[in-house]
Structure 1
Amino acid sequence: MNDMNKHVMDEAIGETRLDRNTQGVIGKGAPRYEGKLKVSGTAPYAYEHLGGEDVAYGFIVPASIARGKIRSVDTSAAEAVPGVLKVISGEKIVRAASQPMAPAAQTIDGEVFHYNQPVAVVIADTFEVARHASKLVKVEYSETEGRFDITNRHTVREPDSMPMTPNQSRGDFEHAFAEAEVQFDQTYTTPSYQAAAMEPHATTAKWDGNHLTVWTSHQLLETAPGQIAKHTGIDEDKITVHSPYIGGGFGSKLGLGPDAVMAANATIAIGKPVKIALTRQNVFQATSRRGETIQRVRIGATKAGKITCFAHETDTTNSPGNGFFEPSGISSLFLYPGKDRIIAHNIVETDVLMTSAVRAPGEATGMLATESALDELAETLGIDPVEFRRMNEPEVNPQDDRPFSSRRLMECIDEGAKRFGWSDRPEKPASRREGEWLIGYGMSSASRKNDLMPSAAEIEMSSDGRATVRTGMTDIGTGTYTILQQIAAEMLGLPLDMVDVELGDSRFAASSGSGGSWGANSAGSSVYVASLALIRELASRLDADAETLTLKDGHAIFGNKQIPLPDILKGETISVTGKIEPGKQAEETHQASYGAHFCEVGVNVVTGETRIRRLLTVGAAGRILNEKTATSQCYGGQIWGIGYALEEDLVIDKRNGLIVNHDLAEYHVPVHADVPALEVVLLEDRDPHASPLAGKGIGELAIAGVGAAITNAIYNACGVRIRDYPATLDKVLAGLPDDYLTAA
């Protein structure tokens, strides 16, 4: 039996089986479904498949210029090396990763678009031989002048409408700002960033003469077979893509990596399986990055502290042919009031590696600016930052007057202030000192737009009552296996060990993929819908009412009867497929998750060093499906926020477009010594408009605003405002008065 049961989110939901919590597993901090495989090293990642077979290995040949034409590629010396099987070059080499949901990656078409762009790939019997031979490929270029600096606005263009409508306005901001009693106008800059996932982009591909199988580290399987088909010429129905385990992605693997395309073409060319793992330098130079930004924030307010108008204008970067942009204003659309508004974005075109989605695209950079601006304006007005936000809490979305589906921002702020001890905040900068250390508190709001994406899942119940969930969804380390297991177990009244989950196979029901904080809510809702269909089938076999049928511990309970599931199935296997789609609720309400961050720092008056002493995050993201994995997501966001505030900076040589710090030796990320004991509090919440689960995204909420809370704390500690991220010690030292060195 195979049904397709679809639920369109046109109406708000009422009480559901999840609220009954009959089985008692939903929301609990259940251990990871795949945890034992990972800690024992037996979970197979992309590069580890076909370990016992005779396979070949690939290595990329990078371009040694930033912009120009390829005149010739001489592969003869490389091909003469013993063990080299093939050198692939030509116009169809892909220049970087594909954009999320794009039909294909961009091919080089005889051009160089950025430094270290792939121009060829060497395939050999061993990785070492392929790497050696890659150095022997001779490429001649006709070099042209490139553009590498966002401040030199050579080519400025309006972005595509991905991931948001780039330019939105309401009323007459310029007039309202000119008439405002208080005018705030500051510019903030953020550098480029790398996702730097633990597992590099890697692929194993096998062509058997009729079918192409690709194991790759990829977040969004729905579009992957089609993207590979475009580049290989193989029919899409003859391509299977597997991605069961992923060692982090953070958006960088939403688009297909160049390794996948090259490995697929290579296995077809040589007739044996091919493995390609990008080196860390390749990952930094040949996949994607977050675009640098220049953000101007203007806010008009009354002297009493009411915001009257709001503008957030962003310049960001991308390479030619790419319409994606860093949507820094995405939360500015709804977070703060102002009848007259401008939210605008421009792409400054540069000849550097393309930019694309990185965790919390928009919020991660935009809230570094806006949450700093709110702190600055509050200080100008002489109002506590918490109280200033309370005074400016809008009743409806200020951009379009839609009601909020649920908005618990002030509850998060109030709970955080209470737990953190905000009332003890130093009243003035540099007023609290411990030896060489000046102590300060800072806070920020957090928000992340919520999306429900089309997603499908199959549940098969075997004759012994065991359930198996299958969906093309992926798990990038966030706990997807576990929460889908919990949803199915709760709905079907099964112990967790009676539910299996299979993910990461393009032959399974097409899922939302992992990204955008939509994965758990979307894929989980499709499991919910499939579970309801299965319950209806069980009820029909019992001639019972599906609404009142109770499932618990592998039994169906109705009336005065309790029947084991195998007795209902009578040797049969039931298979149903459920699908979720967004509907009118997404149009009629504005949906987002909310939170607040509170931070205490110490700033050293001698070195300018900043140390995080405490960091608290309070979040409200609808129903929490697994408290343990949700909290872990927040820890990751907090740590990444520390990196954005103090360390991370993808340095681009403005003379030639070279990404200078292209590995983890030079691209600095927080280590254990940088991170204090973290605290996360998740408020009880339900959003009936968001999905049948009443949940919303949390993974990207946790990074939004953290960096601003830290730099606001730096100001409270020492009086230095950071508007050019990251807050490295040289920037802090430059603003410290000499008399701070005087002993307390």
Structure 2
Amino acid sequence: MKTDQIGKPTNRVDGRLKVTGEAKYAGEFNVPNLAYGVVVNSAIAKGKIKKIDTSKALELNGVLEVFTHENRPGYVWFDKNYKDMDAPPGSPFRPLYDNEVKFSMQPIALAVAETFELARYAASLVQVEYEAAPHDTDFEANIERAYVPEEYNSGEPPEPWGKPDEALANAAVKLEGAYTHSSQHHNPMEMHASTVVWEEDSKLTVYDKIQGVMNTHQYIIHAFSMQPEEVHVISPFVGGAFGSGLRPQYQLFLAVLAARELKRSVRITLTRQQMFSFGHRPKTAQRFSLGASKDGKLEALKQDVFAETSRFEDYSEDVVIWPGVLYNVKNAKLTHKLVGLDVYTPLDMRAPGGTTGIFALECAMDELAFKLGMDPIEFRLKNYSEKDQNEDKPFSSKELRECYRQGAEKFGWEKRNPEPRSMREGHNLIGWGMAHGAWEANQAEASAKAVLEPDGKLTVSSATADIGTGTYTVMTQIAAETLGLPLEDVIFKLGDSSLPDAPLEGGSKTVSTVGTAVKSVCNKVREKLFELAQQVADSPLTHAKFVDITFEDGQIRLKNDPFKAVSIAAALNQNQGKAIEEEVSSKPADGQSDYARYAHSATFVEVKVDEDLGTVKVTRVVSAIAGGRIINPKTARSQILGGVVWGIGVALEEDTVMDNNLGRFMNHDLDKYHIPVNADVHDVEVIFVEEHDSIVNPLGAKGLGEIGIVSVAPAIANAVFHATGKRVRELPITLDKLL
């Protein structure tokens, strides 16, 4: 019975629960006397509510209440200064605060009834009279009025280095280009929902769709002036989030408000259309100016970014950090400005800033390489960065060169004819493109608890989340291997605010952060077990030191003589029938911040473009990833596959269309907001390049959620150019832009 778990392709420990329907999500917890709420959204983008008439709704038998700004409870604490754990600078939106309308589809009322159907009908009867004010949602028209925020939540440009203007003027080869993409929406399978259970002692048990229960917990106790012990938040499963669940959304606030006022349990589940009323990847425009020597050495780079935000919060992303991370450039200047519009605040969406910034950067570099007559890989190797120029720090590890080599070899890159329109198959033009990318490998502070029962069963817990990434599984693997236990003897618990504190699951840092805490707490249990093993009669470990032993196959063994061992069961027998219980908090090690910590990728893509119709099909993708130690190759591969699929959507399909006359996103459903389906996804191969990193965290693991997407869209765009000879700088690349 070998108990090596880390690095082993392992099925999801929660997989059976999900495929059998036993896994319950926020909108699926049924309790007695449950009422249902349906949100009424504004029909205008800006102005005031002159009159709101709820009388027809309230006449219906079974309608409990219709909440508006006029009758919201006075005890609710609306502190403009309180921010949730993921809030950008500014004043967060507060539902039903007053009669002001700040954006289209703003929640302006909540109908609560005995059944969902009745609540929905009641909501349709609420009549609203508006005093509309001129709104402005036109991004392009407002770019010249863009501003530098007083504070960036991320994406603050580094100080310029060198003499970029002078170097650009003197460069032998120059390139200028503008790159844009429209707003994009997360569209997870599970809509946002909150089930708030009213307890007899006025306490609340809240089931919420959230990427971190502690954020919901803190939000409720501050917004409603409640004590921490009065609120219990549970979120065991999340049906996709991709950043949309980082912040508590308005259905949570309204459900808590209704439950407290009506003194009964309330559930609110948003519709797919309402999912477009909060948060999105911001529309962004980027201007690049590049200069290089004739032999391909990058001499100068200027990047100017303009991104949308709301009127009430300054949201920004890491769009401008990538040139200094991915390239060695002597002279650079990077700027990042915001365009305030009458929309809801944008929100982190898978690889925020990276998906946007690396797309434009890698397309611009491909254009420059073509202008220089250089192979795209040769150009990147010529300008390979050995340090993060933004912060003048060496990388903790970087195997990007090996990503190039292995990816190119698997793809067959050496067979590429560099001339555009030179490769074809019947009426299809064949294009081969590549791009590389990076994503931060951060670690935060987290806590974990471990309880080893007398029967040898281990339970480890932390208030983290599993948004479909495999957190349950990898944490179980880490705990099992650390203590030498079989996987079936370990249970990992998450998604509960009563568990040890953990940060939001986002930014590809959960394995690094919570995994380190899990390993640390299991190491504490190891120490206790070792002490007990030394007390066993005739123990071969009596005179051993802790560094001399290892935990394998349910035994505590001497490293230099594995036949000398004490079973974990025998050691537990020395604990007088009591469990071993430990809790720890872990944080980044001293000196870690002296290094730039990133995962890297190289993506190779083949496209086929119908010469007559302009349709694009992505037929082959090879994604080579340097992500440190891979804890579970099976779930890790799934993460990269998901990133590739999404990258296809970013490049070719995703486009939330704003009608500036109405100030509203118009294609707010999955019929008209296009995402990849099975027919869009063909041959995808994932390569994990071996990478050892002793600095990034004790596990040596880097996050994989974001690195899989960042270089996909530019690789596709570059392949489309190679196929057609036409450079499309605006995403998505639709057939009308190619015809």
For Structure 1 versus Structure 2, the TM-score category normalised by the shorter chain is over 0.9
Q: Secondary structure at the match of 2:324?
A: coil
Query: Could you say which residue in structure 1 is the equivalent of 2:229?
Result: 237
Q: Which residue of 2 aligns with 1:55?
A: 34
Q: Structure 1 stretches of 5 or more lacking a match?
A: 1-20, 734-744
- Give the residue type in structure 2 aligned to 1:303: K
Q: Quote the Cα distance in structure 2 between the aligned partners of 1:326 and 1:147.
A: 22
Q: Is 322-331 or 475-484 further displaced after alignment?
A: 322-331
Q: CA deviation at 1:306?
A: 0.3
Are 2:311 and 2:343, in contact at CA under 8 Å, matched by a contact in 1? Answer: no
2:258 aligns to what SS in structure 1? helix
Q: Distance in 1 between matches of 2:266 and 2:202?
A: 16
> Alpha-carbon deviation of 1:69?
2.0
The one-letter amino acid paired with 1:203 is S
Q: Who is 1:142 aligned against?
A: 131
Secondary structure in structure 2 of the residue aligned to 1:616: strand
Cα distance in 2, alignment partners of residues 431 and 127 from structure 1: 59
For 2:257 and 2:92, locate their aligned partners in 1 and report how far apart those are by CA, in whole Å.
14
Question: Residue 736 of structure 1 corresponds to which residue in structure 2?
Answer: none
Between the aligned partners of 1:100 and 1:724, the Cα distance in structure 2 is: 33
SS at match of 2:392: coil
Change (3 A) 1:434 1:623: same
1:202-231 CA deviation, whole Å, 9 max, x = no partner?
Answer: 110012233111101100222221111232
> Is residue 507 of structure 2 the alignment partner of residue 516 of structure 1?
yes
Superposition pairs of residues 408-487 of structure 1, within 5 angstroms: 408-487=399-478
Alignment partner, residue 678 of structure 1: 684
Cα distance between partner residues in 2 of 1:434 and 1:99: 54
Residues 100-147 of structure 1: CA distance to partner in whole angstroms, max 9, x if unpaired?
533995215321111011011111111111111111112222211111
In the other structure, the counterpart of 1:115 is: 104
Letter in 2 for 1:58: G
Aligned 8 A contact 1:246 1:475 in 2: yes
Q: Distance in 2 between matches of 1:112 and 1:545?
A: 68
Work out whether 1:133 is the aligned partner of 2:132.
Answer: no
Range that drifts further, 642-651 or 399-408: 399-408
Question: Is the deviation greater in 383-392 or in 70-79?
Answer: 70-79
Match of 1:16 in 2: none
The percent identity for this pair of structures is 37
Q: Which amino acid aligns with 1:552?
A: E
Contact between 1:98 and 1:257, CA under 8 Å: does it hold in 2?
Answer: no
Compared with structure 1, are the counterparts of its residues 480 and 707 closer, same or farther at alpha carbon in structure 2 (3 Å cutoff)?
same
Q: Deviations over 1:589-612 (max 9, x none)?
A: 001000100011111011000111
Rounded Cα–Cα distance in structure 2 between residues aligned with 1:534 and 1:429: 61
Task: Tell me the CA shift for residue 401 of structure 1.
Answer: 2.2
Q: Does 1:550 align with 2:550?
A: yes
Contact 1:47/1:276, CA 8 A, preserved across alignment? yes
Provide, for residues 51-101 of structure 1, a one-character-per-residue CA deviation record: whole Å limited to 9, x for no partner: 252201110100010011223322211111121111111187999x98653
Cα drift, residue 399 of structure 1: 2.3
Question: Please, which of 280, 285, 299 is the counterpart of residue 308 of structure 1?
Answer: 299
Cross-structure match for 2:541: none
Residues 614 and 678 in structure 1, CA contact (< 8 A), matched pair in contact too: yes
* 1:543-582 deviations in Å (ceiling 9; x for gaps): 4522222222222224733233332433111111122212
- What are the residue-to-residue correspondences of 1:66-105 with 2, within 5 Å? 66-90=45-69, 100-102=85-87, 105=92
Tell me the CA shift for residue 538 of structure 1. 1.5
TM-score by length of 2: 0.93
Q: Contact conserved, 2:272 with 2:668, CA < 8 A, in 1? A: yes
Pairing 1:497-508 to 2, within 5 Å after superposition: 497-508=488-499
Give the drift of 1:180: 1.7
Map of 1:173-572 to 2, 5 A cutoff? 173-208=164-199, 209-285=201-277, 287-543=278-534, 544-558=544-558, 560-565=564-569, 566-572=572-578
Q: Secondary structure at the match of 1:61?
A: strand
Query: Distance in 2 between the 1:633 and 1:719 partners?
Result: 32
Contact 1:290 1:326 in 2 (8 A): no
Residue 618, structure 1, aligned to residue 605, structure 2: no
Moved more, 636-645 or 98-107: 98-107
> What SS does the corresponding residue of 2:464 show, helix, strand or coil?
coil
Q: Tell me the distance in 1 between the aligned counterparts of 2:678 and 2:244.
A: 24
Higher alpha-carbon deviation: 37-46 or 538-547:
538-547
Matched residue, 2:17:
37
Cα pair 1:98 1:106 within 8 Å, conserved: no
Separation in 1 of the partners of 2:616 and 2:568?
61
Query: SS of the residue aligned with 1:342?
Result: strand
Q: Deviations over 1:495-535 (max 9, x none)?
A: 00000111100110011231100011111011011111111
Give the 3-state SS of the residue equivalent to 2:388 in structure 1.
coil
Corresponding residue of 1:6: none
Distance 1:548 1:78 in 2: 73
Paired residue for 1:698? 704
CA displacement at 1:630 relative to structure 2: 0.4
1:650 counterpart = 2:634: no
d(CA) in 1 for partners of 2:462 and 2:311? 36
C-alpha distance in 2 between matches for 1:383 and 1:658:
45
Task: Check conservation: 2:155, 2:319, Cα contact below 8 A.
Answer: no
Give the secondary-structure state (helix, strand or coil) at the position aligned to 1:576: strand
Q: Look up the match of 1:660.
A: 666
Distance 1:238 1:155, change over 3 A: farther
Q: Deviations over 1:30-53 (max 9, x none)?
A: 11010000000000111111x252
Q: Give me the whole-angstrom Cα distance separating, in 1, the residues matched to 2:515 and 2:496.
A: 17
Q: Which is worse superposed, 141-150 or 724-733?
A: 141-150
Structure 2 equivalent of residue 9 of structure 1: none
| Paired amino acid for 1:102 | A
**AA at the equivalent of 1:550:** T
Native 8 Å contact 2:156 2:318 kept in 1: no
CA–CA distance in structure 2, aligned partners of residues 368 and 106 of structure 1: 31
Question: CA contact under 8 A between 2:57 and 2:123: conserved in structure 1?
Answer: yes
Kindly provide the amino acid, as one letter, of the partner of residue 618 in structure 1: A
Bigger shift: 226-235 or 433-442?
226-235
Partner of residue 152 from structure 1, selected from 128, 137, 141: 141
Mapping of 1:11-26 within 5 angstroms? 23-26=3-6
Is 566-575 or 164-173 further displaced after alignment?
164-173
Q: How far apart, in 2, do the equivalents of 1:602 and 1:202 lie?
A: 41
**Cα 1:579/1:116, change in 2 over 3 Å:** same
Residues matched between the structures, number: 711
Q: 2:729 is matched by which residue type in structure 1?
A: R
SS in 1 for 2:547: coil
Q: Distance in 2 between matches of 1:504 and 1:105?
A: 25
Q: Contact conserved, 2:463 with 2:499, CA < 8 A, in 1?
A: yes
Q: Are the equivalent residues in 2 in contact too, given 1:222–1:511 (CA < 8 A)? A: yes
Equivalent position amino acid for 2:683 in 1? A
Cα distance in 1 between the residues matched to 2:617 and 2:353: 26
What is the one-letter code of the residue matched to 1:54? N
Partner AA of 1:317 in structure 2: E
CA distance in 1, matches of 2:449, 2:92: 30
| Distance change in 2, residues 1:128/1:71 (3 Å) | same
Map of 1:17 onto structure 2: none
1:22/1:490 contact within 8 Å kept: no
CA contact (8 A) 1:58 1:123 kept: yes
Look up the equivalent residue of 1:548 and give its one-letter code: D
CA displacement at 1:583 relative to structure 2: 4.2
